[in-house]
Chains A and B, each alone.
Chain A
């Protein structure tokens, strides 16, 4: 089996995880910028983080033969401080020319505040001006439905945005249809407690169809499973899905979306 892990926070993981993913058939890993578990105190903290994502982490992954790509932004959990957020936005263009940067992400909302919305719009503007792909984080748990609707409204209101170049991640049963019906890609995140389990993820795929959906583990420093995608592939086999259909979902779909950026070369 082969698969692409399109969303994993590998800076939080050990090299053993890289090896396990590679052994399980992972052919590329993509890492969006995210919250470190604490608020960084200055723009320099983000500059260091972006250097880690674009320089150090690809080298660490390469030791296991794994191509590593990244997405850049200031995450919504730190967007309440609009002064800091705008400082971080101002340095992102320095990194957009790095050969492993795929786009702007994971941007979005956390608690659905006015400040978060302003910074989301400014990220979208940055992506549009630099013709970047966009990866969107939707809020957690009780905030997801409202946040997803607000995010879709912002994206639809910007005529420069092509929905096929935007993936809305962490969809669940109550948000997947509104995302796909609007022409965006949808990401299903596999977590032990929050977000989706393998069984629920396959339910969503069976109901919505496999077009424009990817699966990801979004493994980070919290409870998460780096091998959640291959485990879900095994679950699909248990349900009788063909090897071809599984390959299309866990390898073909992320390949189709990510290849919209010509930098995504893994062969």
Chain B
């Protein structure tokens, strides 16, 4: 596909998702209390959007991933939340 064709197919969808993300961040700002590592991970991942190469999706996923390689002694639970808790500052 040409870039124009990609834009024709996906621009409105991307625009919608970008506004949803912006509105989500506004919603978090308006809310009271502390945020956590998930927001830290999201902010770190958003830096990937400024990359000048087509590896942004991979970069976002890596920013939210556990980068360690040592197996855990025990499972902290069954679920995953989408961001690595080790990102907590």
Query: Which residues of A are at the interface with B, using a C-beta cutoff of 8 A?
Result: 35, 77, 80, 110-117, 139-146, 149-150, 172-174, 194, 199-200, 203, 238-240
| A142 proximity list for chain B (CB < 8 A) | 41, 64-66, 80-84
Is B53's beta carbon under 8 Å from chain A?
no
Quick one: given A142-B83, A143-B80, A173-B58, are A113 and B66 in contact (CB under 8 Å)? no
- Interface SS majority for chain B: loop
The answer to whether B57 touches A203, judged by C-beta atoms less than 8 angstroms apart, is yes
B:1-34 near A, CB below 8 Å: 1, 5, 9-10, 13
Is B89's beta carbon under 8 Å from chain A?
no
How many residues on B have C-beta within 8 angstroms of the other chain's C-beta atoms? 30
The answer to whether B62 touches A145, judged by C-beta atoms less than 8 angstroms apart, is yes
In the complex, A117 Cα to B75 Cα: how many Å? 12
Pull 16 A–B residue pairs with CB atoms less than 8 Å apart, ordered by A: A35-B78, A113-B71, A113-B73, A114-B71, A114-B73, A116-B75, A117-B71, A140-B79, A142-B64, A142-B80, A143-B65, A145-B65, A145-B66, A145-B67, A149-B69, A150-B69
| B66 proximity list for chain A (CB < 8 A) | 112, 142-143, 145-146
Across the interface, name the chain B residue whose C-beta is closest to A150: B71
Most buried by A among B13, B57, B66: B66
B:35-87 near A, CB below 8 Å: 41, 57-58, 61-62, 64-69, 71-84
